Structure 1
């Protein structure tokens, strides 16, 4: 390690003043201004790495941004009355953002989740003042997400003044990420390739849209989970939470993507643990999957390509899953050989993918992009 890198953190000379950290009057003011960390080995050779935007530095993670923004905009338009309850489906991270929004604007919050929510997250949400409801069984076609959405509809029917932000289809979700994109430009000067996990579609769409105002030729790589239906694979059981979906959110901006990669749990776990051991910065399933793909991009794209990867959260909610050897062994995701390169398919419907796979044809499986074929030239 180059010890000169530590010089900014050495003892100050006598009489010198340290830069003053921010002092804020409300926790909502802590959202944004997240740092960027350079990541290379073991994902890419030295000098060929990527810049990781550490959104886990927000109080609750990346979805503090849309949680606050969607509630603020709903209040501005008169869709959410003062003091009215907020009810939303979430696997956890948006729930934390909405708990912050409820505290900020004075709204009770109910988070509808399922048995896959980590007990620690459910307890934390309760401690933050939110009420947590869990559905008992997945929907026969739409899985857990559709079952949660149906419960939200039931609760709203009994709550005439209740409001659901509907993160899957609310354009305010994507609009909330304009500041994140502006921060990246201020921090990096330019971004040539953005690597982003895709779940509701909000942060990939909103960040890329604004970055392209500065860099029109920006490349966008989407990262999905095996078993997810977002990009045209059949919906199936998913161990990974926070990315992927068993429904088709309208916030996913299909024409914006140059390619998509599907990642499996064992591959994401390897990446998460390498990040923790080598870079002291890690997170959950989305972080591991994004790091794996961003490292591939750093090795594959021409030298000098400036690659940014969005890390949505930190590791703490995953200590009993991703970072628990017993849990990982129980699910058969430790000790597997990690592929150096992704497999590749020519079309999302070509075959069922079960491991890291790349596809350069991206289209809306429901035809909402009017069948536009976005096959791209080989970047290599």
Structure 2
């Protein structure tokens, strides 16, 4: 059992009381960053194994606070975004909160385009922060809800020439924004042997992975996607999970970084997120559950002294009506599906359409002929 440390001496000067405290901040942007890492071990993992979780839910809105602030600041510096001009973007939620924060910080009105899958809690939070929420009514016949949202954004930009869209899927600033997060991990842990990270727009996986690989050339990087996502070469399918996966091909995905990819299904993610909540208190939604499941498996197969980091993009608050709601989960058939001890294995993403937790050590850019990136991963790593 762990206990709180009891101070044995009274500080001799008031300044010493602030030695471990965060400094006062003058703008909301100062609330972002310097998030904690938490050890996740048994009973979530097998005895003697575990991993470190980077808790990005300790940011005001989640991990995408970092990229929203960075993209807006960079656009203002270049002159692409003029003072007071509107921000317009497509989002399933988390970036919306980050843009709301950036809008308040820098003085920009914000409009986000989403779809009926956005949780009412998230829509309410965005509205509370002064963000206009527009919702598309029908999915695009090929690109699904994601493409439908992007088309609405294009229409808004055409109607408001002074508006600016961050385009999180293809904006390289979305990648650069995560350097500080990677530096925090190095400072907090000293050495990192493996990184487990979800992949959606490709921003934080590329940004964190590139920096950490520079520090640790032998770093094993494991990407986590959802079933029904096209990012790593699977056919598009119905996706219940939000925050990871895509029905388009984001330009920010750094395929050459990954040693392997895992696809996780919604019921498996729900099991892991709920198990985390019960045994470690720190948890989150779809992305956190999927990442934790893969990190748990990896921790049981790498040497006990290995330092594995899993990035948890947000907390559980926005998921109280979905992942942690029994009625919702029963309606979608998400309960009672404890994952297998090991993932299914395929040798190439085109080998089969995956419907449950599946691993592949050949990582291929589906647009390889166009983008020139295709890299078989090293199975021995």
TM-score by length of 1: 0.96
Equivalent residue, structure 2, for 1:289: 290
Q: Secondary structure at the match of 2:170?
A: coil
Aligned to 2:327, what secondary structure does the other structure show? Answer: helix
Partner of 2:260: 259
Runs of 4+ in 1 over 6 A off after TM superposition: none
**Separation (CA, whole Å) in 1 of partners of 2:271 and 2:17:** 38
SS class of match (1:261): strand
Whole-angstrom distance in 2 between the partners of 1:104 and 1:278 = 37
Query: 2:380 is matched with which residue?
Result: 378
Tell me the CA shift for residue 42 of structure 1.
3.3
SS of the residue 2:124 aligns to:
helix
Asked if 1 retains the 8 angstrom alpha-carbon contact of 2:271 and 2:337, the reply is no
- Residues of 2 paired with 1:15 and 1:168: CA distance? 49
CA contact (8 A) 1:43 1:292 kept: no
Quote the offset at 1:21 in angstroms: 3.9
Structure 1 position 43, deviation (Å): 3.7
Q: Structure 1: how far apart are the matches of 2:73 and 2:376?
A: 35
* Contiguous gaps of at least 5 residues in structure 1: none
SS in 2 for 1:87: strand
> Do the aligned partners of 2:113 and 2:136 also contact (CA within 8 Å) in 1?
yes
- 2:135 maps to which residue? 134
Equivalence for 1:242:
243
Q: Is the 8 A contact 1:240 1:265 kept in 2?
A: yes
The C-alpha deviation readout for 1:205-236, integer Å capped at 9, x for no partner, is: 00011112211111110000001010000111
Q: Cα deviations across residues 4-57 of structure 1 (Å, max 9, x unaligned)?
A: xx242x366566764444321121101000000000123423442000000000
Offset at residue 68 of structure 1 (A): 0.2
Distance 1:43 1:361 in 2: 28
Aligned twin of 1:89: 90
Aligned equivalents of 2:268 and 2:80: distance in 1? 42
5 Å-filtered alignment, 1:1-380, equals 1=1, 3=2, 6-8=3-5, 10=6, 18-19=17-18, 20-367=21-368, 368-370=370-372, 372-379=374-381
Please give the alpha-carbon distance, in whole angstroms, between the structure 2 residues aligned to 1:229 and 1:43.
30
Give distance in 2, aligned partners of 1:216 and 1:320. Answer: 41
Distance 1:287 1:336 in 2: 17
Q: Is the CA contact (8 Å cut-off) linking 2:90 and 2:112 kept in structure 1?
A: yes
Question: Cα gap change, 1:139/1:303 in structure 2, threshold over 3 Å: closer, same or farther?
Answer: same
Aligned residue pairs: how many? 375
Distance change >3 Å, CA 376–CA 353, structure 1 → 2? same
> What is the CA–CA distance in structure 2 between the aligned matches of 1:118 and 1:72, rounded to whole Å?
28
Please say which of residues 28-37 and 362-371 is displaced more in the overlay.
362-371
Query: How far apart, CA to CA, are the structure 2 residues paired with 1:27 and 1:189?
Result: 29
Instruction: Please give the alpha-carbon distance, in whole angstroms, between the structure 1 residues aligned to 2:102 and 2:22.
Output: 24
Task: State whether residues 89 and 111 of structure 2, in contact with CA within 8 Å, keep that contact through their aligned partners in structure 1.
Answer: yes
Partners of 1:43 and 1:291 within 8 A in 2 = no
The answer on whether the counterparts of 2:255 and 2:373 sit within 8 Å (CA) in structure 1 is no
CA distances 1:151-204 after superposition (whole Å, capped 9, x unpaired): 000000000111000000000000000000000000000111100000000000
Can you give the 5+ residue segments of structure 2 that lack an aligned partner in the other structure?
none
Could you tell me how far 1:369 is from its partner in structure 2? 4.8
1:286 offset after TM fit, Å? 0.2
CA distance in 2, matches of 1:371, 1:209: 15
Give the 3-state SS of the residue equivalent to 1:362 in structure 2: strand
Q: CA deviation at 1:371?
A: 5.7
Tell me how far 1:337 sits from its aligned partner. 3.6
Tell me, yes or no, if the aligned pair for 2:272 and 2:292 is still in contact at 8 Å. yes
